[in-house]
Chains A and B, each alone.
Chain A
Amino acid sequence: MALQPIDQFAARLPAAQRESVRQATKGTHEKRTQLLLDRFADGDGLRRLAGQIKQHVIENLDTYLPQVEARLQANGARVHWAATGEEACAAVLGILKARGATKLVKAKTMVSEEIGLADYLERHGIESLETDLGEFIVQIDHDHPSHIVRPIIHKTRGEIARSFEREGLGAYDDDPQVITQRARRYLRKKYLEAGAGLTGANFVSIESGRLVVVTNEGNSRFCLAASKCHIALVGIEKLVPRDCDLALFLSLLARSATAQPLTVYTEFIAGPKSPAQPDGPEEMHVVFLDNGRTEVLASECRDILRCIRCGACLNVCPVYRQAGGHAYRSVYPGPVGAVLSPMLAGGRFPEFADLPKASSLCGACQEVCPVDIPIPDLLLRLRDRGKREGAALASAGTPPMGAWALLASRPALWRAALAAGKLIDHVPTRLLPVPALQAWSAERTLPAWRGGTFRAWWRRRGRRRPGNGAQVP
């Protein structure tokens, strides 16, 4: 029996890379937990509240989407709708062409990765440049981000220095300070030349139509200070009801994502720049994207649409820590990706049917989730769907359950098996004849056999008279 695809990937991962992913995720996770406990009297209550608010939003999108559209238009933004990634790309291209823009600067947005925007624009003769340091490095390397918040968590400074040298950004120097200053110098020219700046949105307030965009580097602010046209690419699930809710969501997002009380730049955008302000976009466009989200909304996994893309579930996940983000073969890695990627894949669900199995169901992802998404439950539902639809990958690396079913449905056979089970204490597990068991036990030791103890306890319990003060052992 073959290992699951994600295990195969993890097995091939260089040890140094695995270790850097593990250290980085562990560090952020521990700081996050400390920060939430230190600051709030009831950090856990805040997560549940935020989850309820987002659940309310996604279950009322039919009223909220037209409402927020009207607010945005009243603020002076133009609203576009895109049912697919292709339509969203075409909408962005249309806006750029109408302005005669040939150069675009991009802040980090997962949605643009999802729809392959940069490649699309390049095919149509538009220079589209990533400005987030990590995304910039991903772009010059023709690589893919391996973490939602830390795109180059898988790269070393030496690799980055070599890429910079290759791109003519300076002789090899792996000092992170030098790397950063070189990117700073290169990119600030690009902001000023660009015809438009593209961002995502972390939140959109239904009440005020304000888009909220957060960064630490200040790159999205530079896009919106230097260029004359702002395009925001927004998934339809990004809404929050009221401005005051942002106090809650911003507090949770920064702590969960990067263990900060607040991100450095938190920008609230309600339309094109004010007339007296010399810098900033005269034109603002919001492109609302579906691309499979309504299909998720119609499914029993709709809770995943609460996600605010903080990456906390990646940082805490034992599987992500071992396998890294590329193992998930999709834009969204980690526990959230194990739910979202197969769902957003639509008709290609079978290609990702193994991802819901890339979890030990330990529950840590739900415990850290700032919007309390029941990720383990959703993973189970998707495992079930994979089996029902007969997706081959849904059974990859899973031992056949026929023998188990035979035993479990025949009491006499079951008792015999339990009695015989003691033998396993004396058999080296590597000699077990079942390949799946060999694979399973390669990294684990079996506990001493205790089969039958429950049945023995139950029998003894039955002989005692109830209400006699007899202690249950």
Chain B
Amino acid sequence: MSFSISKQGDVVVVDVEGQLIVGNRQELKQKVLDELERGEKKFLIDFSQTGYIDSSGLGVLVSLSKKIREQGGELRLANLNDDLQTLFELTKLDTLFQISDTRERALESF
């Protein structure tokens, strides 16, 4: 499991490889907060290479969304597979986040 960060235009793109769970959620949170502190405002998390997410991983996404919004920014998500889509629907987090089918659509939506 790892996270990689790249920049596409003015959007910070985070790829989550593997699981986003209790054992690594802090790493993701810190990486995004570091970028926020540098002044970045637009964030996209791409889950195309993600297996599953647990409740603490979902919690980190909620936390980051709040912190980014407080700084006048936006967090969007892309490429949820069917399992992850189900998870977001079960928890109603699909109502909280703007979720795109592809990275390209997500980038265009900013």
A and B held together in a complex = no
